[in-house]
Amino acid sequence: MSYKHILLVTDLLSDADIVAQSAKRVIAGSPNAKLSVLHIVEDDMVRFGYELVPASSLSGERDGEHWVEARAKLAEFLNRNDLHAYKSEVTAAISNDKGIINYCNQNDVDLLVIGRHERRGIAAWLVGATADNILPNAPCDSLVVKLDHPVST
């Protein structure tokens, strides 16, 4: 299958390059595909009644220290992996899985590439893996790259 819009989601951790290399192999088989790269930063949430809204979306504050650092890390990630993205974005969302699903829906993504860390201990019980939360709701094909090192707390 030839894809038109591939989304690579990265947490920018040390093993993110493994996921990037998997995305590059898929792109090689779909030379006309455009690549988008997404990183979601943790953001403070503001409650309005029953809704949670990222604080940065209200204030327009996307130039804070953690935003600047995330954009710099994303640029370094793209250069290190020789990825030529049509669009690279650092954004905030109520949760990673909701942010990724929304991005896929709003941008006509037809392949999602994401890494999956195994979680152990309380992290597995409380949060689980982002990829596990995304797959049942993904509006497109998904490539989940298994990463060797577990995340634990």
Q: pLDDT at position 141, please?
A: 93
**CATH superfamily for domain 5-146:** HUPs (3.40.50.620)
Closest CA to 37 of 16, 57, 66, 56: 16
Whether the predicted model's global pTM rises above the 0.75 cut: yes
Q: pLDDT at position 119, please?
A: 58
Q: Average pLDDT by consecutive 10-residue portion of the chain (153 residues)?
A: 90 90 92 92 61 53 74 94 91 77 93 81 53 82 82 41
DSSP, collapsed to helix, strand or coil, labels residue 22 as: helix
Q: pLDDT at position 58, please?
A: 46
Instruction: Look up residue 49 and give its amino acid.
Output: G
Helices (H), 30-95: 55-59, 65-80
Q: Rounded CA gap, 104 and 141, in Å?
A: 10
Q: How far apart are the first and last CA of the chain?
A: 39
Domain boundaries, the chain: 5-146
Q: pLDDT at position 108, please?
A: 94
Instruction: Say what the alpha-carbon torsion angle 103, 46, 16, 37 is, to the nearest 10 degrees.
Output: 30
